[in-house]
Structure 1
Amino acid sequence: MAKDKTSYTCGLDAAVDVVGGKWKPFIIWELHVHGTLRFGELRRRVPGVSEKMLVQQLRELATDGVVHREVYREVPPRVEYSLTGLGRALNAALLPLGEWGDSYMEQIVSRERTTPV
């Protein structure tokens, strides 16, 4: 169920709501790196994501104004996705988080291996 967007308690709450989910950061990154992509190209660049999940995540990102969806009335139909200005700003905000992950990835993984279940 979608969160009531009027009930955010702080900016971090709003940001996590928009970028939350396993695949959204990867989608945003791929669109940042490669620019405009068609659905099939995007699916190939985000390994492991199902078609259904990619559609859902793209729909949510478009609803939140992060991704632009352009439909070309052709046969067969062509749909392209790109980042909006809001999406580019969000990607810039995610870069330090990725750098943090790069810096501490080994430590995180080693803790996971040694923590008893």
Structure 2
Amino acid sequence: MADCPDSALVPPGREPRCPVDVTLATLGGRWTPLVVREFLRRGQVTYSELSAALPALSDKVLSDRLAQLTGTGVIERHRTSSWPPRVRYVLTDQGRALEPVVRSMWEWGTARRDATS
């Protein structure tokens, strides 16, 4: 972690260079890690499956998170040619590589929750 001097931190709107900042930019925003968690649990999902799995998440925020994760290369959007057309979202290799990050978040959160209960 020593290879990330303060000079690597950049203001919002610019491409991050610090590895921790890169990860935070990818997983940034409320709900984003939970959306990624659902992909890790299910592999590929439809919008309605994600919406049902995260009922407290508004349609606007879910749409925004899917666009964000698609834009950062974490997931891909695949539209079927069947009728009616369906859209499935799948993790990319970069998305699957987030599994240990999300798992660590789960473990840390579990320990914190249990310690404060």
Q: TM-score when scaled to structure 1?
A: 0.81
User: Unaligned 5+ residue runs, structure 2?
Assistant: 1-11
Secondary structure, counterpart of 2:57 in structure 1 = coil
**Counterpart Cα distance in 2 of 1:103 and 1:88:** 24
Match of 1:72 in 2: 80
**Counterpart Cα distance in 2 of 1:62 and 1:3:** 18
**Counterpart Cα distance in 2 of 1:91 and 1:81:** 17
Identity of aligned residues (%): 32
**Counterpart Cα distance in 2 of 1:53 and 1:47:** 12
Root-mean-square deviation (Å): 1.7
Structure with more relative contact order (C-alpha pairs < 8 Å, separation 6 or more):
1
**Counterpart Cα distance in 2 of 1:86 and 1:63:** 12
Match of 1:95 in 2: 103
Secondary structure, counterpart of 1:3 in structure 2 = coil
Specify which structure has the higher proportion of helix.
Answer: 1
Q: TM-score when scaled to structure 2?
A: 0.81
Number of aligned residue pairs: give it: 106
Deviation at 1:4, TM superposition (A): 2.1
